Amino acid sequence: MTVPGSKVTCAVLIIGDEILSGRTQDTNLAAIARYLAQYGIDVPEARVVGDVAAEIIAAVNYLRTTYDYLITTGGIGPTHDDITADCVAEAFGVALHEDQSILDLLSARWELTPARRRMARIPDGGFLVRNKVQGPPAFGIANVFVLAGVPSIMRGMLEDVGHRMRPGAVTHSKTLRVDGSGEGVIAAPLEAVAKAHPDLSLGSYPFFSQEGYGSNLVVRGRDLAEVESAYAELEAALRADGITGLTAVENA
């Protein structure tokens, strides 16, 4: 049963040796999190595993049964180390079949080599996820969405994902930037306001740059009025402690 405004969660599983070797900097987790925030969907956990079947299968099964949804990225190309489709099928205990619409799309552009045919395989009971950028579509099965690893392609596929999920209550946030004060003096007023608002999340994200140091204080919650009043209380509490250099950050 859908409870309006209830919490909806989606885990992210990043698949690929290149992320774990540091050869490639992952940017998909942050892109997915920001995208899902528009639908009021939280990402409570993410995992990164290599191109190892047992690890992928175990992570898929844990994450898909623990959270409302799971998005995976990586491992759906035509090469021998692209084993995500096989692993997702095995996680669900189903076989793979070749999707005729993908075969048609591939053969319209290219010779159908065995490698390219691999990209037409989707698990029995699965569905296609549109790819408007480059190459064949992605796929999903039940509450799992299996997307490409290349960021530009992944982001295009993502646009066909959010509308298929149950929306949650959107989180509102307001950010107060504090220049020239460290967390050591910010902590006490921040904690006092956090304790007064247990339904909100108050975080402090320090920065250190050549121009100076300080922290971004982020008030997050599902009730906009409460976010705004807690933000005002925080600003007043910091001023009462003699802390200056406060700036409201727009669209944080």
User: What's at 38, amino acid-wise?
Assistant: Q
Distance of CA 8 to the CA centre of its chain: 13
Order of all β-strands in the sheet with 201-209: 201-209, 212-221, 172-179, 246-249
Q: How far is the CB of 158 from a copy of itself (least distance, A)?
A: 12
Taking the least distance from each CB to a copy of itself, the nearer of 101 and 134 is 134
Q: How far is the CB of 125 from a copy of itself (least distance, A)?
A: 27
Taking the least distance from each CB to a copy of itself, the nearer of 127 and 159 is 159
Taking the least distance from each CB to a copy of itself, the nearer of 60 and 141 is 60
Q: How far is the CB of 135 from a copy of itself (least distance, A)?
A: 8
Burial class (CB in 10 A: 0-12, 13-18, 19+), 24: middle
Burial class (CB in 10 A: 0-12, 13-18, 19+), 230: buried
How many Cα atoms occupy the beta-carbon half-sphere of 122 within 13 Å?
Answer: 22
Give the C-alpha separation, 144 to 72, whole Å: 8
What count of other Cβ atoms lies within 10 Å of the Cβ of residue 205?
13
- 160 is a site residue for a copy of itself (CB under 8 A): no
| Contact characters 2-41, a copy of itself, x per CB under 8 A | ---------------xxxxxxxxxxx-xxxxxx--x----
Give the C-alpha separation, 164 to 147, whole Å: 14
- Work out which of 95, 188, 224, 248 binds a copy of itself, going by CB under 8 A: 188
Binding-site size, a copy of itself (CB under 8 A): 67
Q: How far is the CB of 147 from a copy of itself (least distance, A)?
A: 14
Q: How far is the CB of 162 from a copy of itself (least distance, A)?
A: 14
Which residues are registered as beta bridge partners of 87? none
DSSP 198-229: TTSEEEEEEEEETTEEEEEEEEEES-HHHHHH
- 65 is a site residue for a copy of itself (CB under 8 A): no
Q: Which of residues 140-159 bind a copy of itself (CB under 8 A)?
A: 150, 152-153
- 86 is a site residue for a copy of itself (CB under 8 A): no
Where do contacts with a copy of itself occur on this chain (CB under 8 A)? 17-27, 29-34, 37, 42-52, 55, 77-81, 110, 113-116, 118, 134, 150, 152-153, 182-188, 190-191, 194-195, 201-208, 218, 220, 252
